[in-house]
A = this chain, B = another copy of it.
Amino acid sequence: MPYVIGIDGGGTKTKAVLLDETGKVYAVSKAGPSNPTAVPSEQLKTTLQCILVGLQLQAPNEYKQVKAGFAGMSGAGDAVSRSHLKKIFFDLTEGRFPIWVDIDAINALYAGTLGKPGILQIAGTGAITYGLNKEGECERVGGWGYLFDDQGSGYHISVKALSAVMQAYDGRGKATLLTKLLIERFSITEVPELISAIYRSDNSKTVIASLSPVVLLAAEQKDEVANHILSEAAEDLALSIMTLHKKLFGNAVHQKVILTGGFIQHSPLVVSSLKALFLSKGYAFDFQFPRIDPAGGSAIAALHYLNEMPKIEFVSNFHASINTVEEGGVS
Do A240 and B172 have beta carbons less than 8 Å apart?
Answer: yes
Do A147 and B171 have beta carbons less than 8 Å apart?
Answer: no
Answer whether residue A198 sits at the interface, using C-beta atoms and an 8 A cutoff: yes
Answer whether residue A315 sits at the interface, using C-beta atoms and an 8 A cutoff: no
Summarize A's interface: helix, strand, loop or mixed.
helix
Do A167 and B147 have beta carbons less than 8 Å apart?
Answer: no
Answer whether residue A331 sits at the interface, using C-beta atoms and an 8 A cutoff: no
Can you list the 9 inter-chain pairs with the closest CB atoms, starting with the nearest?
A148-B162, A144-B166, A148-B163, A141-B170, A149-B166, A171-B243, A148-B159, A172-B243, A172-B239
Chain B residues with Cβ below 8 Å from A159 are 147-148
Residues of A at the B interface (CB closer than 8 Å) are: 140-142, 144-145, 147-149, 151, 159-160, 162-163, 166-167, 170-172, 192, 195, 198-199, 204, 208, 239-240, 243, 246-247
How distant is A247 from chain B, measured CB to nearest CB, in Å?
A: 7
How distant is A171 from chain B, measured CB to nearest CB, in Å?
A: 5
Do A243 and B148 have beta carbons less than 8 Å apart?
Answer: no
Q: How many copies does the complex hold?
A: 2
Q: Which of A148, A171, A172 has the most CB of B within 10 A?
A: A148
A149 touching B171 in the complex, CB below 8 Å, given contacts A144-B195, A195-B144: no
Do A142 and B170 have beta carbons less than 8 Å apart?
Answer: yes
Contact of A170 among B140, B147, B199 (CB under 8 A): B140
Cα distance A140–B198 in the bound complex, in angstroms: 20
Cα distance A240–B204 in the bound complex, in angstroms: 25
Closest to A205 in B: B147
Chain B residues with Cβ below 8 Å from A246 are 171
A172 touching B208 in the complex, CB below 8 Å, given contacts A148-B163, A199-B147: no
Cα distance A171–B160 in the bound complex, in angstroms: 24
Q: Which of A141, A160, A167 has the most CB of B within 10 A?
A: A167
How distant is A10 from chain B, measured CB to nearest CB, in Å?
A: 19
Chain B residues with Cβ below 8 Å from A204 are 147
Chain B residues with Cβ below 8 Å from A198 are 147-148
Q: A149-B162, A171-B243 are in contact. List 8 more A-B contacts (CB 8 A).
A: A141-B171, A142-B170, A144-B166, A147-B198, A148-B163, A148-B166, A148-B198, A170-B243
